[in-house]
Structure formats: C-alpha cells, structure tokens
A and B are shown apart, each in its own frame.
Chain A
Amino acid sequence: MINRFLIPVVAFVLLVVVLAIGIKHSPEKGIIASPLIGKPAPQFSLPSLADPAHAVSSAALRGRWYLLNVWGSWCGTCRDEHQMLLEVRRSGRVRLIGLDWRDDDGQARGYLQQLGDPYEFVAVDHDGRTAIDWGVYAAPESFLVSPAGIVVYKCMGELTPDIWQKQILPRLGQAQAAGS
C-alpha cells in the first residue's frame, strides 16, 4: 500500500535527473548534433574568392587536417570569432579553409581586407548547395576534418578559445601522437 504513494516522488527524482543532464549538456545542444560526425566530408568544387575564375576543391585537401569555417560578411558573430581565427592561423596547427556562404564577393573581400585574412583559401558558395551538403544551420560554424577526409568535430557557433583548447587541439594532438 505504501508503494503507490511513493510513485510520484520517485518519478520526480527521475525527472530531476533528466533535467540535470539537460542542463549539463545545454551548451552543446545535443539535439542538433551533426550526423556527419564520423562520416566522409562532403566533396565540393567551388570558385575561389581571390580568383573566381580558378576553382578550389575538397579533393586538394586530403592528406592533412583542415578546419572548414563557414562565414559571411553579413554575419555579426563571425566578426566576434575573427580574432580567434587569426590565432588559429598563427598557431599553424591546422589549415584554415573558409566557406563564404550566401555572400557578395566584393563585400566578402572588403571584410577580409578590413579584419585580416586567416584563411589559406576561401571557397565561395553563392547558392548554398555546398552548405546544405555540410548540414550548415547558420553561420559561423566550423568543421574539423581529418587527413583521411572524415569529419571529426563540428563547432556550432563562435569558435571560442575554450572550444579550441578543449575540443579541437586534443583531437589534433591525439592524432599526431598516434602518428596519423
């Protein structure tokens, strides 16, 4: 008899556990995790921002780690993370490739001129198809891709020093220690 009156309390405790886990994970927002993790990176062949007549392709990126950063001159948060991107460039730990999403070439070049260009090269995605293939929700987003061409990590939102230290460097370090 006493058992059924305990049901509400027990159910509540379970709920608290669920909510606590929810709070713990909320910075990562697991609900929007990328299905690309662990899968081969989508292929692309797009005009380069520096020289539109010349195409840049993902095929050229195999063999080394790279970080694909999705941005646009219209994107406010991208400005916030720009300092970090320049740091990444300076560190030389990984190639930084830009994907200029749904942007105007002139404004994009102006943006890079004004803030500095951290990218090895920038691929221009005017119609958004490549961004769709990568499952881009919004800018900025960054994808860490291994030399074998597998997507290893996706950063949704601003690339902060914290994420660089805690999420990206360890993955790069692990791989280098393992000799890949």
Chain B
Amino acid sequence: MLPELGHFALILALLLAGLQAFFGIAGPLFGRERWSAAVIPAVAGQFVMVATAVGCLVASFVGNDFSVKYVAENSNTALPVFYRVAALWGAHEGSLLLWIMLLALWTVAVAVLASRLPRPFLARVLGVLGVISFGFLLFTLATSNPFLRLDPAAGDGADLNPILQDPGLAGHPPVLYTGYVGFAVAFAFACGAMLEGRMDQNWARWTRPWVTAAWSFLTCGIAMGSFWAYYELGWGGFWFWDPVECASFMPWLVGTALIHSLAVTDKRGLFKSWTLLLSVLAFSLSLLGTFLVRSGVLVSVHSFAADPSRGVFILSFLIVMIGGALSLYARRAPLLKSPAGFELGARESFLLFNNVLLVMAAGTVFAGTLAPLISGALGLGAVSVGPPFFNPTFMLSMLPLLALLSVGIHASWKRGRLGTQRRTLLYTLVAAAVLGCGLVYGIYSPGSGSLLTPIGATLGMWIILSSLVDPVDRLRRRLSLPRAVIGMTVAHIGLAIAVIALTTVQSFTNERDVAMAPGASASVGGYQFRFDGVAPIEGPNYGGVGGILVVTRNGAAVAVLKPQKRQYSVQHQVTTETAIHYSRGNNILVALGDDLGAGRWSVRIQIRPLVSFIWIAAAIMALGGALAISDRRYRLARTADAVPAGTAPERA
C-alpha cells in the first residue's frame, strides 16, 4: 500500500511541478497575475507530494518491506534502523529522490524567504525551479522508480553496502546534495533576470545570500566526503581527484568565483553578464556531475551502476536546461552594460583576478576529468589522468590566487589606493614568512625538502594576517563591523588554515607499511608502536578481527589503537576500520593489512600532522558563509525594494 501511495505521490508531484513551471513562466510572460499567483500553491503542493513519497520510502525501509525492489537491494533485517533510513540514498533511485526532495525544500525556502520580491520576478524564479523539478521527477518515474515492486518479495534484503554503514558517510550525500541543488536557486535567479530581459538593480543583493548558502553546504559536503575517505576508505588519503570528487569540486570553484563576482555586481553594478554566466555555469556543473556519475561514461570508485540509457535521458535534460539558459544568455546579456570605472589597483581588479584564476582552476579540473572522453571523441585514443596531472596544474592557479588575496584585501573600491598600504603589505608579508615557517618547521620535521613548504606556510599565514588588518582597525577606531565583513574574514581565515594544514600534511607525513608479529615494535615519526596481536570481534551485522597497537612516545603512553577488519554477514564484504588518534596536532592512523600467517600481520602506520585541520578549516569557511548571510542588509533590501503587486515588468 505505502509504496503505491509513494508512487502516486510522485506522479502528482510531477504534475504539480509541471504546473509550477507553466504558471511561473507563462504568468509573467503574458501578464496574467492570477497565473503568477498560482505558482505558490503549486510549489507547496509539489513539496507535500515529494515529502509524502519520501516518507513512504522511509517507512518501507524502516518496516523492512522487501517487496519493494529498492528496499530489497539496499537493506536487511539485521541493518540498524539508523542505516535503514540512510539507505534511502544508498543507491541511484533513492539518491535521485533525495535530489528532488532537496530541490523542493530550496524552492519552498525561496517562496517563503523571498516572498517580498517583485511578483513577476519571483514567479519566474519559481517557474524555472519547477522546470528543473519536472525534469528530475520525469527521469525518476521513467527510468529510476524507487517504488518498483519485487514479485515475489524477497525474504530478506541484500543489505546496504557496508562501506555506507557509517555515520559520516550517511550524512555526506544529504549535505553535499543540499549544496549541489542549492546552486539551482542562483541558476533560477539568473534565468529570471534573463527572461525578464533586464537585471533589477537589487538583483545581485537578492541572489547573494542564496549563493553563499549553497556554497556553505557544498563546502561542508565536500569536506565530509574527504574526511570519510580519510578514516574509512583511503588509509590516510583524503583526496584522489576521482571523477566524482572532481564533479563536486568544479561547482565549488565556480561557486566561489560567483560569490566574489556578485560582490562587484552588488556594489558597482559591474560584471553583470559575467555574473549571470557564472550562475548558469555553477548549476550546469552540478547537473554535469549528476550525468557523469550515473551514465557510466567515466570510471570511478563512486559511480552508481552505470546505464547508458540513463545517460541519454540526462544528456537530453542537460541540453534543454543548459542549452536553453545559455541561448537566453546569448540574447540578453549583450544588453547589460555599465559605465562604471575602476583602477588597476582597485578591489574590482583583484576580484576579477580571483575570478579568472578560479575559473581557470575549474577549467583545468574539467579538462582532466573529461580527458578520457575528449580524447576518445577526438580519436586520440586512450588517456588516463590522475593526481600527477591535477596536483601541479591546480597549484598553478591556486598559488597566485592565494598571494593576490593578501594584497587585494586592502584595496578600496574604485580607486584602490594600494600605494598607501605599502607598509602594511610589507610588514604582514615578513611577519607571515617568519610565523608561518617558524610554526611549520619548528613543530614538525623532517620535511620533504620541497620549496612548496615555506611558500605554502607563508601564503597561508599571510592571508590570516592580512584578513585581520581591516577588522582590527575598525574595532580600534570603534567603527561598525558588519556581519558580512566578519563572515568574509572568517571564511578567508578558514581558507588560510586549510592551506597551512595541506602544506604541512604534504610535507611532513610519515608512513610505513610493516609486517609485525605479536610483540614486535616499529618506530614511526617519533612514536613507537607495539603490536599485541589480534582478537575476534563481533557487531550487529558483522564479525571479524581487531588488532591492538600500543602507542608510546619516549616511553610515555599515548594511546591504544584498535584497528579492525570486518566481514559483513550479508554481503560478505570485508571492510577495514582504521584506528585514529589525535595527539599534539598529529593524526596517528593505524590500519590492518593482511594476515601473513603465524600471527603476523601487515600493518600500515601513518603519522599525518594537522590533517584534521583541513576539515575544521572547511567548517570555518562554511561558518563564514553563514555569518555573511545573516547580515542585516539582506533583510532590509527586501522591504525597501518590494514592488507593489500589479506592476508589469518592462521588457527588453
């Protein structure tokens, strides 16, 4: 009963999304106020239907209804309830439903929080979101229905993939998707402006909080994935330039550029068409990521079961959405001109450089990710791309960006006046070099001997010092410190911490793979590890062995680490649970390798300094974003510029 209800709810959601799209776009187009007004109920209705569908699926999981094919493929009676809910997004069909749910949530948020936007514009925005919802719902119902029945019903399920049975990974898709999907709002705002044929002077201010919110979620989502990979999957690795990681990183890079471009558009009315393009591009990359993961054209650890027919559908959807938006851009963007000016040393310049470098980085990642496809299509044969390509090319754009940040942050709008800041620049740079290198080399050794170590440490520290100059100055002179400035400062400092942490990790990691017999000891990075053998372990749906490693430093006890090798009872899959201890800025990671016989085991020991700070830094960046959004400006703007209902828009 419930699955049928869920299925029916999805069909209704599809119809409502269609109505939402129709009323939203046709209403303002033909000047029909009642149609425009009908968008809101359509949004509400679609949300209720989608929520119902999700509720039905969750109930099927929790109730162990194995007559539903998706539940049978991804759950099991022995699976703890928490993971039965998380299994909702464990595979392709369910994760699509999650996408749709989050899109509906964002749409409702826009309808509620942006309710005081001019009616026609709001209608268009919601209409565009409706088109996206319609596409995804159609795709789900046509090719990926999670409510299909299994006849006869399975006795028990195939169990959730054991590597997904982990709290961190359970949370990663929802947070990540919230970010991904959130860029649809910016996309819709851009399409709204383009459909209208003009950009309201407040358009940038309306759009900024939505972009920042999506960006913050995406930052957290990517960080969660990386963190999970570190302790569960990668044995100390946290970023592999895997196609799916790249698929989430590209929207992030473009999203960051968009945040900065919007600042210029908001303040000076410049870069309007460029900001529109970036808004379209960010979400386009989200959609492209969806395509890459589900169509089977690329090889990846993360890919869902590949199916070319799905690929065709998504590609068609991409053509409609992205092709449509870019065609609209080609028609409307040339009309957006501005007479404003700025000097070479002005803030606008630096934000321009920021955008160029970020888009270059995104383009590089794009080239590397799609290289096999491009090479194949051009008839150039096979090519394979991995970290040896991505790492150096990514740094080519990032190093200048980080340096320019510390300079540009002092630049004023329009006139720059960097000349007056010369001493500040010099002092901060010298202090950064001393502090940064002192910190890094003073605490950790030996290093890898690379030049990038002092460069990275200096650049990171320089950003921190430079970011603090203005806020500290304002506080000293008892000037106001708007939340937006605090948010920006916090986010930049978060970035700097990530840079310092990454530099340290890359330069000072110590690792060894050793074969150890019980009682044997190994020395790594100043710590001593004594292996005390393994013992059997048991969990709710798994069994296996747990090793014991006693860690000491100069004789003093540090930790007792218990890495495990689990075998899950249903899928017979073996997973490795690493044991990690945080001590004095170091992450000590231990993992069991293979049983070498006679009680001997191969063990991986890895000391990674500051690696946790990478993810802490990401959280700080997201916090900065949240602070920025909470600035009063965004709330005042809505009441001040609300246009009375009934005003027809001018058309270009």
Binding site for B on A (CB under 8 A): 1-2, 5-6, 8-9, 12-13, 16-23, 25-27, 29-33
Within 8 Å CB of B308, what residues of A?
Answer: 23, 26-27
Question: How near does chain A come to B309, taking the closest CB pair, in angstroms?
Answer: 9
Within 8 Å CB of A32, what residues of B?
Answer: 382
Stretch from B59-67, B203-211, B311-319, B397-405 that touches the partner: B311-319
Does the CB pair B377–A31 fall under 8 Å? no
Within 8 Å CB of B333, what residues of A?
Answer: 5
Does the CB pair A9–B326 fall under 8 Å? yes
Does the CB pair B311–A8 fall under 8 Å? no
Does the CB pair B297–A19 fall under 8 Å? yes
Per-residue interface assignment for chain B, residues 253 to 292, with 1 indicating a CB less than 8 Å from any chain A CB and 0 otherwise:
0000000000000000000010001001100100000010
Does the CB pair B326–A23 fall under 8 Å? no
List 5 interface pairs A-B (beta carbons < 8 Å), by A numbering: A8-B329, A18-B370, A20-B315, A23-B295, A31-B384
Interface residues in B358-400 (C-beta closer than 8 Å to A): 370, 372-374, 376-377, 381-384
Q: With A27-B308, A32-B382 given, is the CB distance from A5 to B273 under 8 Å? A: yes
Interface pairs A-B: 7 shortest CB-CB: A22-B297, A22-B373, A21-B377, A9-B326, A23-B311, A18-B377, A31-B372
Question: Nearest chain-B residue to A33 (Cβ)?
Answer: B382
Within 8 Å CB of B376, what residues of A?
Answer: 21-22, 25, 30-31
Does the CB pair A30–B382 fall under 8 Å? yes
Within 8 Å CB of A26, what residues of B?
Answer: 295-297, 306, 308, 311
Question: How near does chain B come to A139, taking the closest CB pair, in angstroms?
Answer: 18
Within 8 Å CB of B374, what residues of A?
Answer: 18
Question: Nearest chain-B residue to A2 (Cβ)?
Answer: B334
Residue B330 at the A interface, CB < 8 A?
A: yes
Bound form: Cα–Cα A30–B383 in Å: 10
Determine which of B318, B330, B381, B384 lies in contact with A16 in the assembled complex, contact meaning CB atoms within 8 Å. B318
Within 8 Å CB of A33, what residues of B?
Answer: 381-382
Does the CB pair A19–B326 fall under 8 Å? no
B interface majority secondary structure? helix
Does the CB pair B330–A9 fall under 8 Å? yes
Determine which of A1, A5, A9, A22 lies in contact with B377 in the assembled complex, contact meaning CB atoms within 8 Å. A22
Does the CB pair A9–B373 fall under 8 Å? no
Question: How near does chain A come to B321, taking the closest CB pair, in angstroms?
Answer: 11
Residue from the set A25, A30, A31, A32 with the largest chain B CB neighbour count within 10 Å = A31
Bound form: Cα–Cα A31–B243 in Å: 14
Does the CB pair A5–B334 fall under 8 Å? yes
Question: How near does chain A come to B292, taking the closest CB pair, in angstroms?
Answer: 9
17 new A-B contacts, CB < 8 A, other than A1-B334, A21-B376, A29-B299, are: A9-B323, A9-B327, A12-B284, A12-B326, A13-B323, A16-B323, A18-B377, A22-B298, A22-B376, A22-B377, A23-B295, A26-B306, A26-B308, A27-B308, A31-B372, A31-B376, A33-B382
Within 8 Å CB of B298, what residues of A?
Answer: 22
Residue B322 at the A interface, CB < 8 A?
A: yes
Q: With A5-B330, A18-B370, A31-B382 given, is the CB distance from A23 to B377 under 8 Å? A: no
Bound form: Cα–Cα A33–B380 in Å: 12
Q: With A18-B373, A22-B377, A26-B295 given, is the CB distance from A8 to B330 under 8 Å? A: yes
Number of residue pairs across A and B with beta carbons under 8 Å? 76
Bound form: Cα–Cα A20–B370 in Å: 13
Bound form: Cα–Cα A32–B383 in Å: 9
Query: Which range holds the interface residue count of chain B?
Result: 35 or more
Q: With A2-B334, A12-B322, A26-B311 given, is the CB distance from A19 to B291 under 8 Å? A: yes
Q: With A23-B295, A23-B312 given, is the CB distance from A17 to B334 under 8 Å? A: no
Question: Nearest chain-B residue to A28 (Cβ)?
Answer: B376
Bound form: Cα–Cα A139–B153 in Å: 32
Within 8 Å CB of B312, what residues of A?
Answer: 23
Within 8 Å CB of B284, what residues of A?
Answer: 12
Question: How near does chain A come to B33, taking the closest CB pair, in angstroms?
Answer: 32
Question: Nearest chain-A residue to B328 (Cβ)?
Answer: A9
Question: How near does chain A come to B308, taking the closest CB pair, in angstroms?
Answer: 5
Within 8 Å CB of B383, what residues of A?
Answer: 31
Interface residues in B532-548 (C-beta closer than 8 Å to A): none
Bound form: Cα–Cα A21–B324 in Å: 21
Bound form: Cα–Cα A18–B323 in Å: 15
Question: How near does chain B come to A13, taking the closest CB pair, in angstroms?
Answer: 8
Question: How near does chain A come to B369, taking the closest CB pair, in angstroms?
Answer: 12
Bound form: Cα–Cα A25–B311 in Å: 12
Question: Nearest chain-A residue to B327 (Cβ)?
Answer: A9
Bound form: Cα–Cα A9–B329 in Å: 9
Question: How near does chain B come to A138, taking the closest CB pair, in angstroms?
Answer: 13
Within 8 Å CB of B326, what residues of A?
Answer: 8-9, 12
Question: How near does chain A come to B333, taking the closest CB pair, in angstroms?
Answer: 5
Does the CB pair B382–A16 fall under 8 Å? no
Bound form: Cα–Cα A21–B375 in Å: 11
Within 8 Å CB of B372, what residues of A?
Answer: 31
Bound form: Cα–Cα A5–B297 in Å: 30
Does the CB pair B329–A16 fall under 8 Å? no
Bound form: Cα–Cα A23–B277 in Å: 27
Within 8 Å CB of A6, what residues of B?
Answer: 330
Within 8 Å CB of A31, what residues of B?
Answer: 299, 372, 376, 382-384
Per-residue interface assignment for chain B, residues 482 to 502, with 1 indicating a CB less than 8 Å from any chain A CB and 0 otherwise:
000000000000000000000
Question: Nearest chain-A residue to B333 (Cβ)?
Answer: A5
Within 8 Å CB of B277, what residues of A?
Answer: 8
Question: How near does chain B come to A126, taking the closest CB pair, in angstroms?
Answer: 19
Bound form: Cα–Cα A23–B299 in Å: 13
Does the CB pair B330–A19 fall under 8 Å? no
Does the CB pair A16–B319 fall under 8 Å? yes
Question: How near does chain B come to A162, taking the closest CB pair, in angstroms?
Answer: 14
Within 8 Å CB of B334, what residues of A?
Answer: 1-2, 5
Question: Nearest chain-B residue to A13 (Cβ)?
Answer: B323
Within 8 Å CB of B318, what residues of A?
Answer: 16, 19
Does the CB pair B373–A16 fall under 8 Å? no
Within 8 Å CB of A22, what residues of B?
Answer: 295, 297-298, 373, 376-377
Question: How near does chain B come to A39, taking the closest CB pair, in angstroms?
Answer: 15
Bound form: Cα–Cα A23–B298 in Å: 10
Bound form: Cα–Cα A2–B377 in Å: 29
Bound form: Cα–Cα A59–B313 in Å: 50
Bound form: Cα–Cα A25–B306 in Å: 13
Within 8 Å CB of B297, what residues of A?
Answer: 19, 22-23, 26
Bound form: Cα–Cα A111–B319 in Å: 50
Bound form: Cα–Cα A112–B244 in Å: 41
Does the CB pair B370–A5 fall under 8 Å? no
Bound form: Cα–Cα A29–B312 in Å: 16
